[in-house]
Amino acid sequence: AGSLSGRLALVTGAASGIGKAVCELFSKEGAVVIGVGLGDVSGVISSLKERFDEKHLSVAVNVSQNKQVEDLVKEICKKYSRPPCIVVNCAGITRDALMVKMSEEEFDDVIDVNLKGTFLVTKHVAAELIKSKVRNASIINIASIVGKTGNIGQTNYSASKAGVVSLTKSAALELSRYNIRCNAVLPGFIETNMTQKIPHNIKEKVKAMIPLGHFGQPEDVARTCLFLASEQSCYITAAAIEVSGGLGT
């Protein structure tokens, strides 16, 4: 049996990139995975079902919509007779622009998905965990190294991710009495859809700043999430772990 054998894991942003890699690794480690995305999550889940077993589930939910998140968590509790004891908040977007050119909408959209979405999922799952008396849970929030360093063109995104780190620490303090751990992961530059659109010359400049000398892969972040989800990390809460090859130190 894997290190997450029989545990119920909710993963947002599951259709691609880091979220998809988390779903695959958690499934391999024996978890029952509920993958949440904007509508196209069925692909990753059906491939999990084929390769592992039938138990996984995919749901189309916009994490920035309170009602959708609340209903999702209620339905999961009904279907599985328990709330998920592992959550990975991975849904995220960028809307890059220099600050003086950034629209109010570009600012709000990023805060809504990255920060409010993380709040809503964490809040509704934590409420059910407390109610159901599940006392061994791990919530993992995907922030970013730019939440610490800042980044040109990302006033919205970097602020949302600094917010995610701070939210994670406050939630950890509130939930530690229930043995619900909350930690943030700060990826550096990971090769996914999100970073694919960045121009080649900028990518090369970033690469030159990475101490380990190469970009990260979604699986690099997924392995850190597995550590934080498993009992290996049972004494870690309110932490912010950088997975950046040394970028942003």
Binding test (CB under 6 A) with ligand NAD, winner from 192, 224, 230, 237: 192
In angstroms, the CA 108 to CA 93 distance is 11
110 and 93 in contact (C-beta within 8 Å)?
A: yes
**With respect to ligand NAD, which residue has the nearer C-beta, 166 or 179?**
166
141 contributes a contact to ligand NAD by CB under 6 A: no
In angstroms, the CA 19 to CA 76 distance is 19
31 and 14 in contact (C-beta within 8 Å)?
A: no
84 contributes a contact to ligand NAD by CB under 6 A: no
Kindly report the number of other CB atoms within 10 A of residue 197's CB atom.
Answer: 8
Whether residue 235 lies in the annotated active site: no
**With respect to ligand NAD, which residue has the nearer C-beta, 209 or 234?**
209
How far from each other are the two terminal CA atoms of the chain, in whole angstroms? 37
Side chain identity at residue 177, one-letter code: R
- What is the distance of C-alpha 55 from the center of its chain? 21
Binding test (CB under 6 A) with ligand NAD, winner from 2, 195, 203, 223: 195
194 contributes a contact to ligand NAD by CB under 6 A: yes
For ligand NAD, which stretch binds (CB under 6 A), given 15-23, 44-52, 76-84, 174-182?
Answer: 15-23
35 contributes a contact to ligand NAD by CB under 6 A: no
**With respect to ligand NAD, which residue has the nearer C-beta, 93 or 172?**
93
Task: Locate the DSSP E strands across 45-123.
Answer: 57-60, 86-89
Binding site for ligand NAD (CB under 6 A): 12-13, 15-19, 37-38, 62-64, 90-93, 113, 117, 142, 144, 187, 189-190, 192-195
Catalytic residues: 157
